[in-house]
Structure 1
Amino acid sequence: MTGAALVSHAVLVVEDEYYVADDLRRELVKAGATVIGPAPSVERAMALIGSADRIDVAILDINLNGDMIFPVADLLRTRGVPIVFATGYDHKVIPPRFVDVVRCEKPVSPDTVWQAAAMLLRDTRP
């Protein structure tokens, strides 16, 4: 799959580790995406969701400085936004309502994460 799948798409990135977030942001921009964030906290993610004109896909770390991302994931779900979890957490930590969410296990390359996001965009097109 090429980066063309992300061209002109708005991608929300929620990640509290600065270098991980910055690497992912750079790779997404190289792939042609418009990056929303990165947001380092649940509060900032909620604010970005509230102010964004559109979000086509979201890449979410599960634990943000001790706060779990699930309220953000719930809000994105109500808006029909596909989600990728980029996390070091085992699948057992993820609530059953998110069993269908793609999970990229850390350490993971930014390339792998954006490819998962691109796959979701491809799969959700009408």
Structure 2
Amino acid sequence: MTELAGLKALVVEDEGSVALLIEEMLESFGCEIAASLARVDQAREFASKGIFDFAVLDVNLHGQPVFPVADILCERQIPFVFSTGYGPGGVPAGFNASPVLAKPFGIADLKRAVSSALASSSH
């Protein structure tokens, strides 16, 4: 187990195999998956009302940017990590403080990014 054990995660990813891989990685840290969603509208609704500790957000969901979801998480002070094939350049300047995972990433990268997001939010 890790320092992430017992935390609830929101996974927002439109590629089923990638979502499953992220979920398995998070579960290996002892996290619980609160929800795994593939559409911006679903993710916005869950981000507004759901109970979870952090999120992993794919930047592009079926051609739609995930940033409205990130805005909700910022308002609720819920930490998150961006996951993207575009690298840090694919994330607007307003989200500079949020960790960005460049796809493909490994389990150690995910753990480091989630830990960093959680540590930043506790200040």
Q: CA deviation at 1:49?
A: 2.0
Which segments of 5 or more consecutive residues in structure 2 lack a partner in the other structure?
Answer: none
Partner of 1:23: 21
Alpha-carbon distance in 2 for matches of 1:114, 1:48: 23
Partner of 2:84: 87
The answer to whether the 8 Å contact 1:23/1:110 transfers is no
Structure 1 runs of 4+ off > 6 angstroms? none
Which segments of 5 or more consecutive residues in structure 1 lack a partner in the other structure?
Answer: none
Partner of 2:31: 33
| TM-score, reference length from structure 1 | 0.86
**One-letter amino acid of the counterpart of residue 41, structure 1:** R
How many correspondences in the alignment? 123
Does 1:7 pair with 2:5?
yes
Q: How much is the aligned-residue C-alpha RMSD, in angstroms?
A: 1.8
- Larger RCO: 1 or 2 (CA < 8 Å, sep 6+): 1
Alpha-carbon distance in 2 for matches of 1:78, 1:108: 28
SS state at 2:2 partner = helix
| TM-score, reference length from structure 2 | 0.88
SS state at 1:84 partner = strand
The answer to whether the 8 Å contact 1:36/1:48 transfers is no
